[in-house]
Amino acid sequence: MSASLAPECNEVKERYDNCFLKWYSEKFLRGTATTDECDPLFKQYEKCLSVREPISLVRPTHHHQKVLKERGIDKMVKEAREDNRENDAEHMKPVSVPSSPS
């Protein structure tokens, strides 16, 4: 699995990623998913990322939470969630499938 930005979150990330991959391949892709079963693990992972300050190898002064806030990612995330909730993913639809010639 890929590493987390915050090394101390690697473990909880791996637990979440494994859960997600199983759910994604066994339920989501088969169209039988009813809920996101891995959400409780995601919440733990999310908490690890936002509460604790990772010892970043590359940029010790930038911790994750700061990154999310500074870069406006938290806002983008919120918007994306609202988009999805409103089922307004119209702009994310693939561009025109060529229509059959008249």
Contact footprint for another protein (CB under 8 A): 1-6, 9, 13, 16-17, 20-22, 24-26, 28-31, 33-36, 42, 45-46, 49, 57-59, 64, 67-68, 71, 73, 76-77, 80-81, 83-85, 87, 89, 92-95, 97
Q: How far apart are CA 83 and CA 52, in angstroms?
A: 29
CB-nearer residue toward another protein: 35 or 102: 35
Q: Which residue has the tokens 């590359």?
A: 58
Q: Is 49 exposed, middle or buried (0-12, 13-18, 19+ CB in 10 A)?
A: buried
Taking the alpha carbons at both ends of the chain, their separation in whole angstroms is: 49
Q: Closest separation between CB of residue 83 and another protein, Å?
A: 8
Nearest distance from C-beta of residue 11 to another protein, angstroms: 13
